[in-house]
């Protein structure tokens, strides 16, 4: 299973979240540091669009691991909630296209 790890202790707000995400997922140079861009990039994990460094097989799932999630939840609970909401929406998008969900959030 493919895995990307974000360091929850390093995420202090939106800027650091997007920096961590850019590094973990390998987003393209034109990544806009917004949640809309985050959702867009993670919506093409099974395509050859180069929106991330990951290219998933039809039934493969990308685990998004938040290391030190308790620290992130304490400092930026709204951000973690938004991320969870967006992952659910992305998985719905995959299902709408007849595909299996592509993301799993793991809090450690």
Q: How far apart are CA 35 and CA 83, in angstroms?
A: 8
Per CATH, which fold does 2-107 belong to? Barnase; Chain D (3.30.370)
Average pLDDT over residues 65-81: 97
Q: What is the pLDDT of residues 19-47, one digit of tens each?
A: 999 999 999 999 999 999 999 999 999 99
Give the pLDDT score at 83. Answer: 98
Q: What is the pLDDT of residues 51-67, one digit of tens each?
A: 999 999 999 999 999 99
For Cα atoms 99, 102, 104, give the angle at the middle one, nearest 5 degrees: 145
Nearest Cα to Cα of residue 53 among 22, 93, 95, 90 = 22
Mean pLDDT of the chain: 97
Give the pLDDT score at 1. Answer: 86
């Amino acid at each position: 299973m493919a895995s990307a790890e974000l360091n929850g202790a390093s995420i202090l707000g939106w800027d650091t979240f997007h920096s961590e995400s850019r590094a973990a997922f390998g987003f393209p140079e034109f990544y806009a540091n917004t949640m809309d861009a985050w959702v867009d990039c993670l919506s093409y994990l099974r395509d050859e669009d180069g929106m991330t460094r990951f290219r998933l097989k039809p039934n493969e799932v990308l685990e998004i691991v938040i290391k030190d999630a308790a620290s992130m939840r304490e400092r930026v609970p709204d951000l973690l909630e938004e991320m969870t909401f967006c992952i659910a929406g992305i998985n719905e998008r995959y299902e709408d296209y007849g595909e299996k969900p592509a993301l799993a959030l793991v809090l450690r």
